[in-house]
Each structure stands twice: as structure tokens, then as C-alpha cells.
Structure 1
Amino acid sequence: MFSIIIAIVAIEIFYTPPIMPIVFIIIVTILADKSTYTKTGLIITGMAVLILSALAYYLFHDDPDYVQTYIDKNPDLASMHLSVDGENLISKQGEVKRPLASVVKTIIAIEFANQVVEGKIDPDEQIPLVELEKFYLANTDGGAHPNWLKEMKEGGPIKNDAVSLQEIAKGMIMFSSNANTDFLLDKLGPESINHVIESLGLENHDPVYPLVSSLLVPTYLNAIEDKKWSTSQLIERLQSLSLEDYRELSWEIHHLLKHRKADFFNGSVSIPMDLQKIWSDRLSNATVEDYGKVMSAISNDTATLPGGEDILRNIMEWPMKVNVSNQEIYAHLGMKGGSTAFVLNQALYVENLDGRKLELIIFTEGFSIIEQIKMEKNMNSFLKKVLTEHF
């Protein structure tokens, strides 16, 4: 019971992947059993330890080639784009639209920089934290928003329970706070943000719409249609909605949250995986070629209005500040990842000290549990390997 409690705390509070707490429970259960210490028990325990050790090694040892193998073997589930100095070196399923998850936040960051230049917003404007809390749903963002708040409180940017717009934008990119994202989506205006898609010539990019509110679409449907749908019925109902209707419902919920009128739920959200899959699939989609253009535009200072380049870089190039050693290798390094239970994406641009530039975009989806663990464990190693090979 003690090991189960620890495992639950690890998963729910510290967002530990379930596999390790489960292994911990198995080990404690074996060790707590008296029969373990008989001759037969010791043999069985030894075999179990060997099997678990082999599984742990397979799952967690550094294997950057696993990512490339997954991309190569799953063309229906993975896309990759690589450009160096303006030359496209790799385009695997480059025109296939896939869910962006948090990578879409890059578009919002671009419009943020534009509106600062235009004088429409003041990056130093202090925003009360309660305004952000309107768009926060506990346990739905992998701890992103709480981690950002913790950083802000420890670092000192929060004053009188308020924080600047600039820090909110940074938190959207570096920590990937969905609450910050939906607040900025409202603050900047969806029409202005979606104009960025047009201005950058992104031909296969869906409109940007709320991330948080769309999570509540099933709950909202139950309420407004006065139904008590089962999960299977909700799946059928959601699948009957066109994308346009689905997005409209998301905006309705967004405005209810904004004005604190979302009384159709009690603040607690528990979404079955089947419904999460629909949410994930219906997030804004685009292609790796689209985001090759986006990252290239940022790298070449053409993504924003004149004067917005440094503002945008200050938001996107957080890896240069978090890992100071990057400054010894790169002149610029900006990136935005995105993930759900079904998606793992990365989009980055790099300029080394010699002025060579690289853009790397990876969109992957459709994992089994083991594939997801392996992809998450090895993605950073794969990115480093690609950079090393081309720089």
C-alpha cells in the first residue's frame, strides 16, 4: 500500500511516466513477500530482476537512432523537414498535415512581437494572475503552468500578484503554459494571429483556436444538450461535428471561461483517453514544410514587422539562456516543442558562430506506450545528433 501511494504521488503530482512507478510497485511487492527468500523465490526474483533490468535498459538507454527509425518506418505517422543554409536536405511526408499541439504557440509569439512594434500592446503591462487562472485547468498540461508560476515566484517577476505580458509570452513558449496561450489568444485577437499564417504563406496551416477550451467540449455538449452521454456516445457525437462547429464550440467555452460563466463544470476535469485522442487530432494541424518556413523566417528576421526581430528572439531563444553552454556553440538557437498523449513534435532553428543556419522540424504521432516512452527519451539526443552532423 505504501508503494502504491508513492506511485500515485509520483504520477499525479510530479508527472512521472507511469512505467517507473509500476516497476517500483512490482519490486516492493516482491521484496515484501516472505516466499521471495526461499530458494525457489530467489530464483524467480533473480529472473524478474533480469527481465525488468533488460526492459529498463531498452526503454531508457540513450538511442538517438530510434527517432530516425520511427520516422522512416512510419510514413503514415511521422514527418521530417531539414534545411541547411536555405537548401532543403530532407523532406519526409513534408506536405502531410499533422496535429501541431504546442508548436502552434510560435504563431502567437510572432503576433505578440508584431503588436509590440505597432504599439498595440505594452510588454511591461502587468496582468493579474487571476486573469490567467480563468484559463487554467488543473492536471491537463503536464504541470506546465504550475512550473511556470513557481519559476516566476522564485525569480521575482511577480509583483502584487501580477506579471508582465512579456513574461506571459515567455512562459507560453519555454514552459508551454496553455493558460498563458489562451490568455494571449484573447488579448492579441484571433483574427490578427491567424493573419500571421497568411502573411508567412503557410498554405496548409489550420486556424489557431483555444487549446484549453477545446478540452471542455465534451463536458459542454453534455450540459447544453441536457444529456448524460456515455463515453462511446460522446465519441460518436464529437465525430459528427464538423471542424468548424467544433471550433465554434471551443470559442463559446473560451468566452464563458473569460467571463467566469462556465458553470457547466465544477472546475475538475477528467477526460478519458478516447476523448483526448479526438481533442489531440482536432488541434490545429499543419505540415513540417509550413514550419520549415516559420523557423526560417524567424532565423532570417523576416517573421515579424521590422523592429520585432529581437522581441521574438527573446521569447523563442530560451535554450540559449537555460543552457549557457549553447552560447559557446551557437549564435542563435530557438525552438518550440509540442506534445499530447498521442503526439510528439519539435520545431527549431539554429545559427552557429560561423553563420551557418539550420531548420529542423519533426512531427510524430500514433504511438504505443513503449514507442512514446522511447521517443520522448531519445528526441533531444536525436536533435543533438542532427545538429552535430551538419555543424
Structure 2
Amino acid sequence: MSPKAFVEFIKKNKEYTAVKIVRNDETVVSYQEEKMLPLASTAKMIIAVAYAKQAAAGEIDPNEKISLSTLNSFFIRKTDGGAHEAWLSEINNQDPVTLAQVAEGMMHYSSNANTDYLLHRLGLERVNEVPAEIGIADHEDIYPFVPALAIPYILMEEQNITLTGAIAKVRDMPLEEYREKAVEIMNQWLEKPLPKDKKLMLVKSLIMDVQKIWSDRLPRSNAKSYADFMKKLNDKTFFSQEVHEHLDPLLEPLMSSPENQTWLKHAGKKGGSTAMVLTFSMYATDLEGNRTEAAFFTDQLMLLDQVRLSKSLNEFQKAILKDENFRRYCQDAFRQD
């Protein structure tokens, strides 16, 4: 799918799509920018800010050693597209790891196990104070990722009911109760991790109905808020230099590429996906001083569309950053709508 086809897809799927693109403080595209949509792993940028702020303030030690077995309490296979295993492979299963490496695993690889551990370590309340601290009014609370996905299985075990019965109960569960249940499961796993056989049974319970309930209830925000957030990261003046010392290595692995260094001063991004969702937020300043911020959220995708969009995402992002004609095309395409 070409970047132009990507734009046409967004326009055809208006009900569940939002995009905002800003170039040198001028809005290029503002399409349904206030529509609340699931963030998926893009929300991990908020957790990264919470980590960097606490590290800069000396409240946590980035060099603190964390055992892999502690992280394994939150690891369930097939719940993050192989991200946790990819991170373990990258670090050669080093044990223990540092807290900074745990944060890198969350951001560079999108490990959900590392994310849930960090939510516990940083404190959910502290993490959920970050959006207001950075001026985001429209942001639902973040809660543990994998424990939420496990709720139907845990209800089956606790109440001795079928998976169908558990799914029905979760569907009827108010969001606040659902979040509380996810936190309760997180705390249980910290005290007493699920044994291997139970983890296997949990994986078997993750049928598409379970994944959809989870995906539909993920924390939501909007493109306007995340584009504003990206501007604060891009300007490098909103957060202190000390915060950026811990934050930039998490958000900007793009800058380790020699090719990117030939045209970018700095750039950061984070994406997210489920079977029905695809999201990203990014910021960049090139060597000529051009600043770009973008946020894109889409939901309720058919699986084939999700795969096609995922494969085209990188080209779409590059075109936003590098191609003036494409930005003009976007401007015209969304203006006509």
C-alpha cells in the first residue's frame, strides 16, 4: 500500500480513524483530531515519561538490578507479538538486567511484561498523573496490559465457569471494575506467578472474542493531544535536560542508525497494534531545522487491513517527514473531506 493509498484508506474508514500532522508549527492535517480512540502500545510513551521523571529526580535508580524471573511473572507467550522474546534475544538473556534495560525493552521492543513491571515499580497513580502534567486533558487511565487480557481466564478459574460465561461477565463489567480487576491480577502475579501449565491454559483462552474485548477497552486518547505531546518532546524545552537524558534513549532508537543521522537532528516514535487497532505518534527535527509532529489512530480494522496498513506504516511515516508533495497531497485530500 503506497502512502497515498494509506491516506485513501483513512478517508474511507472515517468512523474509526484520526490523524494530525504538524510541520513547523503549522497544521498540515487535522482529521477528527478530537475523536477518542484506543492507543495500544503508543500509550507507553506516557510510561516512559514517568520513568524518566522519576529517574531524573533520583526516586528510582536506572542501574538497579532486576531479575528476569521477576519480569517473567508478567510474561505470557503470544500476548505481544514476540516482543519480549525479541528483547531477551537482543540482551542474550542477560540476568539480572538493569531497570534502564527494562525500560528499553518496553519502548524499543514493546515488551508488555516489562511494561506491566514498570507500571508496578513507578506506581499506577504516578503514571496516570503524567497526562495532566504535560497538558493532556483527554487521556483515559493506563492500567496493566497483560493482566487485563487475562481477566476472562482468571474468572473461569475463580468462579468455575466456562470461557463463554467469563466473556459474558467481562462484557457486562463496568470499565472501572475491569481496571481494578487488572490491577488485582497484577498484584497476585507479583506475589504468586502463574505456573507454566496455567500460563499455557491462559494462552489457549485468548480467542478473538477475548482479544476484542481487551482491545476495545484499552486506554484512549486523541490525535490532537498526542500531536501536542509530540511537540513538547520535539522542542526539548518542556522537560528538563535531566529528564531528556533518561527519556531520549527510550524514545529515539531511530538515531542509532547512521543513515538517519545523515538527515535528522533527532526523532522519536512509538507505535501500537492489536488485531483491530493500529496507532503511532512521532516527532522529528531534521538537520535543516524543519520540525514535524504526527499522530495517527485507527480502530475496528479487519485483520487483512490491519496487516496491510502495518506493512505500509513506515513508508507513510517517511513520506510525512521527507516529501513536501505528499504533505500537500494530504492537506488537499483531507481538506476536501
So what's the TM-score if we normalise by structure 2? 0.91
Cα 1:263/1:314, change in 2 over 3 Å:
closer
Q: Letter of the 1:334 partner, please give it.
A: G
Task: Confirm or deny: 8 A CA contact 1:110 1:196 kept in the other structure.
Answer: yes
Distance 1:63 1:389 in 2: 13
Distance 1:168 1:229 in 2: 33
Distance 1:114 1:303 in 2: 12
Q: Letter of the 2:230 partner, please give it.
A: M
Q: 220, 227, 233: which is aligned to 1:298? A: 233
Cα 1:192/1:306, change in 2 over 3 Å:
farther
Quote the residue 1:181 is aligned against: 115
CA distances 1:218-237 after superposition (whole Å, capped 9, x unpaired): 0111222232242xx33322
2:255 matches 1:327: no
The alpha carbon displacement at 1:290 in A equals: 1.3
2:184 matches 1:249: no
User: Aligned residues: percent identity?
Assistant: 35
SS of residue in 1 equivalent to 2:297: strand
Listed as ranges, the gaps of 5+ residues in structure 1 are 1-61
Which of the pair has the greater relative contact order for Cα pairs under 8 Å at 6+ separation? 2
**Residues 154-193 of structure 1 aligned to structure 2 (within 5 Å):** 158=94, 161-193=95-127
Larger radius of gyration: 1
SS of residue in 2 equivalent to 1:136: coil
Task: Confirm or deny: 8 A CA contact 2:124 2:143 kept in the other structure.
Answer: yes
Q: What is the aligned-residue RMSD (CA, Å)?
A: 1.7
Distance 1:295 1:97 in 2: 17
Q: 294, 310, 314: which is aligned to 2:245? A: 310
CA distances 1:179-204 after superposition (whole Å, capped 9, x unpaired): 11001111111111111011012111
Q: 221, 228, 234: which is aligned to 1:286? A: 221
Quote the residue 1:219 is aligned against: 153
Distance 1:128 1:262 in 2: 17
The alpha carbon displacement at 1:64 in A equals: 2.1
Quote the residue 1:104 is aligned against: 43
Task: Confirm or deny: 8 A CA contact 2:231 2:283 kept in the other structure.
Answer: yes
Q: 37, 57, 75: which is aligned to 2:14? A: 75
Task: Confirm or deny: 8 A CA contact 1:66 1:374 kept in the other structure.
Answer: no
Number of corresponding residues: 322
Task: Confirm or deny: 8 A CA contact 1:113 1:304 kept in the other structure.
Answer: no
Q: Letter of the 1:202 partner, please give it.
A: I
Quote the residue 1:55 is aligned against: none
**Residues 103-182 of structure 1 aligned to structure 2 (within 5 Å):** 103-153=42-92, 158=94, 161-182=95-116
So what's the TM-score if we normalise by structure 1? 0.79
Q: Letter of the 2:265 partner, please give it.
A: A
Q: Letter of the 1:215 partner, please give it.
A: L
Distance 2:239 2:160 in 1: 46
Task: Confirm or deny: 8 A CA contact 2:153 2:163 kept in the other structure.
Answer: no
Quote the residue 1:209 is aligned against: 143
Quote the residue 1:39 is aligned against: none
CA distances 1:86-143 after superposition (whole Å, capped 9, x unpaired): 2222111111111111001000100111011110011111111111111100121111
The alpha carbon displacement at 1:178 in A equals: 0.4
Q: Letter of the 2:305 partner, please give it.
A: E
Task: Confirm or deny: 8 A CA contact 1:194 1:208 kept in the other structure.
Answer: yes
SS of residue in 2 equivalent to 1:360: strand
Task: Confirm or deny: 8 A CA contact 2:255 2:261 kept in the other structure.
Answer: yes
The alpha carbon displacement at 1:238 in A equals: 1.4
2:177 matches 1:238: no
**Residues 19-38 of structure 1 aligned to structure 2 (within 5 Å):** none
Distance 1:134 1:207 in 2: 23
The alpha carbon displacement at 1:262 in A equals: 4.4
